[in-house]
Amino acid sequence: MRLLRLDSDGQCRLTNFFGKDAKDIPFYAILSHTWGADEEEVTYKDLTDGTRNFTHKAGYRKLQFCQRQAAQDGLLYIWIDTCCIDKSSSAELQESLNSMFRWYQRAARCYVYLSDVSVRRSVGEEEESWKLAFKRSRWFTRGWTLQELLAPSSVVFYSQEAKRLGDKRSLERTLNEITGIPIKALQETPLSHFRVKDRRSWAANRRTTREEDEAYCLIGIFDVYLPLMYGRGRAIALNKLEREIKESWNSGEVKDVIHIGGASWKDLQTLDERQLSDLDSSLEEFTRWFFEEINIATVDKMSAEAGWRMQTLLNRVGVSYNDETNHLRGKHTEWQQPWADYEAQNKPDIDRMLGFLNNRWWWANGQSDCFTGVIAAKTLIDLMIWRDKW
C-alpha cells in the first residue's frame, strides 16, 4: 500500500509500502468518505505532479481534516483512497481493491467524514438535531462504505465541521437501526460467522457509481479475490462473485467458517427460519441445564453428557457436529480466575460460560474425557454469538 506521511512542516508526502509485510507497515489512520465529482477530489496525480494547485478543490477540506485528526491522535501516516491509489495503473487498482478490506482492518483509526451532516443549529432546533441528518447521510447508501464500517476496529464519525459525533461502539444501536447489520457484526464478530444471504442483505440498498462495483465492494465482506472486469456489466461481476464464494466454501480456504465451535457451518447456512427458531430454543434449554443441573464435580460425566446433548440438539435440525476439532484448543496459564468468573452468578451467562471454558482448557491438557465438554461449551458460546443472543 501507499501512505501519506505527515511532515513537521504540515505538508504530506507519499510513501510506498507495496511488497512490505504487514509488520513493516507503520500505524496509520484511514479516511472513509463519499466522493464528490471527480474533478473536486484531490488525486494521486495532484500530489505527484508537483505543478498542480489543488487547494481550491472541495476534497482538499477532507485531506486537511484527516491530517489534523491524525496529528491529534499521534499518527504520522494516513491513507485516503483518492490520493493513495494510482488509478491509471490497472495492476495497482486490481491489488488495491482486493486488499482494501485488510487495509481498513489494519488501520489504527478510521475517520468517517460526513459531508452532509452538520452540528450547526438553526433557531428552534434541538441540541442534537444532527442525529436526523446522520441517519439520512449518503454515507449509509454507498456500496464501498459497508466494508469501511465493518473492517476497522476503531471507527469514529465526524460532521462536516470536523466535530466528533461518536464511534462505532457508542453509536452501535443507531448503526444497527440504520443499516440492519447485527450489533455482533459491528462488534467484530468474524463476518464468516454470518450467513452469506445475511451479508448480501447488508448491501442490498447500497449503490455504487460503476455498476461492476456492486460486486467488487463485497470482495472483503466474503474474503474472496476477484479479477476486475470493468465494462463487462453488473451481472457478470456478480456471477463471478457468486462463483468465488462457492469455491471458497468447497475448497475450505476460509478456515474459520468451516465450524462454529464443533458445528458444521455449511449445515448451519442451510437452516430455514423454523429450524433456526428450534435451534434457539434448544440452545436456551442447554444453557439452563448447564447452569442448573450439571454436576461439575464429576468431570467425566459432565463432559460426556454435555457432548451428547450438543450433538443431539444440532442433529435434530440437520447440523453435523464434531467434538474432536483440535484446532479449537486453547492456551491458559492459570485456572483460578476463570473458575471464579464461572462461579459468579451475578455475571452474564456468556462471561460465566467463558470462565468455565477457560478453566476447562487449563485442566483438559489433552484429556479427551474433559475435552468433550470443552468443545460443547465452546460451541454453545459461538452459536449464541452467531444468533445474536449473547
∠ CA(213), CA(215), CA(217), 5° rounding? 60
**Do 206 and 301 share a domain, yes or no?**
no
49 and 111 together in one domain: yes
Grid cell, residue 240, equals: 463471478
- For residues 265 and 250, membership in a common domain is answered with no
Report helix, strand or coil for 60. helix
pLDDT at position 254 over 50: no
8-state DSSP, 73 = T
Examine the fold and report which residue of 189, 215, 238 is the final residue of a domain before the chain moves on.
Answer: 189
Residues 179 and 225 in one domain: no
**Which residues span the domain enclosing 67?**
2-189
Pairwise pLDDT comparison (388 vs 27), residue with the higher score:
27
* 155 and 28 within one domain: yes
202 pLDDT more than 70: yes
Task: List, as own/partner pairs, every contact residues 5-10 make where C-beta atoms lie below 8 angstroms and the sequence separation is at least 24, other chains included.
Answer: 5/76, 5/77, 6/67, 6/70, 6/71, 6/75, 6/76, 6/77, 6/78, 10/67
Average pLDDT of span 64-93: 95
H or E segment and range at residue 158: strand 155-158
Per the CB < 8 A criterion, the answer to whether 356 and 376 are in contact is: no
User: 237, 257, 277: which is the final residue of a domain?
Assistant: 257
Do 299 and 371 lie in one domain? The reply is yes
Domain count within the chain: 3
230-to-157, 224, 301 alpha-carbon distances in Å: 31, 18, 60
| Residue 327 shares a structural domain with residue 208 | no
Q: Which of 172, 189, 206 is the last residue of a domain?
A: 189
Please report which confidence band the pLDDT of residue 256 belongs to, taking 50, 70 and 90 as the band edges. Answer: very low
Position 124 scores a pLDDT of 53
User: With 70 as the cut, is the pLDDT of residue 53 above it?
Assistant: yes
Q: Has this prediction a pTM greater than 0.75?
A: no
- Average pLDDT over the chain, rounded to an integer: 85
The SS3 call for residue 114 is coil
Looking at the structure, tell me whether residues 227 and 271 fall in a common domain.
Answer: no
